[in-house]
Structure 1
Amino acid sequence: MASITAKKPLDCTYGSCASIAVIEALEQYNGVDPHDSEFRLYDVVDPDALDTLFSGQQTTGLSVEFDIDDVTVSISRTCNDIQVHITDTFE
């Protein structure tokens, strides 16, 4: 699988838009339910810190990138949403 991009509106009902967007994108990318797997986002990055980082008004244009297993997760914020892009690290 090459890559996937997912979007989450900033006005999402979750209090944790960025971390939920990452989990949902990984779920789509890997084709597995993260609730049924042994994967835990907080083993790689602090979800609360990620949510706080992307919740501020001055974060438009912000981008964060980190590796999980064999993929690179890139998170960015535009005016209206949070985008998560996942790519294989072997590309």
Structure 2
Amino acid sequence: MRSSSVLAIVVVLLVCLFKHGNSVPVEMETTTAMTTEFTATESSRKDIVFNSTEGEMEKPRYPHDGYCGHLEEACSDERRCCPDFECYHSEGRCIYLMQ
């Protein structure tokens, strides 16, 4: 007898919850434009310099001589390659860093 009364109470509560849940109007907010936010990492902030006078992106600066070499650009002991590249000394050109 006791378990049937507990079951009846549970059923009544579930019915009340479903009735109340269905009667509440659901409003959804829609937007016409989506925005994409770019979060720069610490390394990308250091590597990329924006030249506001000309409105162009400059090559990443390397601390010792001003610029670093990208893919297929010349490199030497004085002019190093940018991060993610390494100097292929026999040809004097920057290549992708092998990992």
Larger of the two Rg values belongs to structure: 2
TM-score under structure 2 normalisation?
0.18
Higher strand share: 1
Larger RCO: 1 or 2 (CA < 8 Å, sep 6+) = 1
TM-score under structure 1 normalisation?
0.19
